[in-house]
Amino acid sequence: MSGKYATERLSDDPAGIARAADLLRAGGLVALPTETVYGLAARADDDPAVARIYRAKGRPGFNPLIVHVASLASAEALAEFPDRARELAAAHWPGPLTLVLPRRRDATLAAAVTAGLPTVALRCPAHPAMKAVLEQVGGPLAAPSANRSGFVSPTTADHVLATLDGRIDAVLDAGPCSAGIESTILAVRPDGRVELLRPGPIASEKDGADTSAIEAPGQLATHYAPGKPVRLAATGPAADEFMIGFGGIPGDCTLSPSGDLAVAAQRLYACLHHGARSGKPRIAVAPVPEEGLGLAINDRLRRAACPVEP
Ligand code: AMP
Ligand code: MG
C-alpha cells in the first residue's frame, strides 16, 4: 500500500527502541508489540498525534483509546483510583488488564483520547519492548490495536503492515504476541462497583466483576472482520471454506490441536489472517468451549462472524 509515509521496520534491540521513542516524542505514529496484540502508539498528550491515530486507522471518533503507562504512579496522575482499582492494578499490572476509571480534571490528555467521556481507559503493559519505549518517551502513550478499523487485530509486525503500511511511521518487530487477544477491560465506578466491559486474557475476570453483563461502549458488533463470511461451530468445512480447527477437529490451520485455550487465543488472529489471505471465499471455525479464555475467544469470533454491511 502506498501512503504518506515510508513505514520503517524497527528491530527489538536498543537502537530500534531508541528510534521508536524518538519518533513518538516528535509526534509520530509507531506500532509497538504488547503481550496482547500490536498497538498503534502516539503521545497521549499531543492532540495532532492522537488525531493521526484516528486518521491512520479510519477509526470513528466516538471510540475512545486505551492509554498505556509505565507505572501505577503515572496512571494515578490521569485517573481517580477507588480502592478496588488499586487492588486490581496491584494484582494484574504490568499485564493484560485495562481499567476504565474516572478521569482526573487535571489529567494532561488530548481531548480525543477519551472521546468526550468523563472516564479514561488505562493499562500498564508487561511487554519488555513496550515498557522500554514508554520509559524512554517519559509520558503516556495512547494505543489502540494497530489495524485499520474493523479488521482483524495484529499479532505480528506483518499483520500490522498488511493494513497500515505507508500510513504510519514505523513498526517495532518483536515477533508474535504471547496472549494474542486484546486486554480484559474492567470499569471501576466511583462507588467501587466493577463491571466487565470486554472479556480478555485474564480468565479470573468474572471473580473481580460485580456483573457479568458485557457492555462494550464504542465496540461495534462487526469487528475483527476478515472480509469474508465466517461460520462458527463448524464440525467440518464445505468445499469453498477455509477451515480453522480446534481440538479433535482438524483444519487448514488449527487454533490448538490439543484443545489448549491459551494456545488458541495466541493463534486466533493469525488463523483469521490466514483465512482472509486464502483463496477460499468463506471461513469455517470449529466450536470453542464457552469457559475460561474461551469466553474471550468466542466474543472475538462472534464479532468476526457478524455479517459485513452491504
Ligand atoms: P482497542 O484498543 O482497539 O482494542 O479498543 C479500545 C477499547 O477500549 C474500545 O473497545 C473502547 O470502547 C474501550 N474504551 C476505551 N476508553 C474507554 C472508556 N473511557 N470507557 C469505556 N470503554 C473504553
Ligand atoms: Mg481494535
Q: Which of 38, 53, 100 to mutate to test the pocket of ligand 1 (most atoms within 8 A of CB)?
A: 100
Residues having CB within 6 Å of any atom of ligand 1: 63-64, 66, 100, 114, 117, 119-121, 144-145, 182, 185, 197, 216-219
Kindly state the DSSP code that residue 191 receives in the 8-state scheme: T
Cell numbers found for residue 193:
462497583
222 domain residue, yes or no = no
- Give pLDDT, residue 62: 87
Q: Do 244 and 304 contact (CB within 8 A), yes or no?
A: no
Range of the domain at 300: 230-305
Q: What is the mean pLDDT of residues 102-121?
A: 95
Q: How confident is the model over 165-217, as pLDDT tens digits?
A: 999 999 999 999 999 999 999 999 988 899 999 999 997 655 456 554 444 44
Distance 212 CA to ligand 2 centre (A): 22
Q: Provide the residues around ligand 2 (an ion) whose CB is within 5 A.
A: 145
Same domain as 121, residue 41? yes
Same domain as 281, residue 182? no
Same domain as 187, residue 109? yes
310 domain residue, yes or no = no
Distance 216 CA to ligand 1 centre (A): 8
CATH of the domain at 22: 3.90.870.10
Same domain as 194, residue 146? yes
Total of domains in the chain: 2
Same domain as 31, residue 124? yes
Same domain as 110, residue 37? yes
Kindly state the greatest CA–CA separation across the chain.
59
CA distance 308 to 188: 33
204 domain residue, yes or no = no
Q: How confident is the model over 51-103, as pLDDT tens digits?
A: 999 999 999 888 899 999 999 999 999 999 999 999 999 999 999 999 999 99
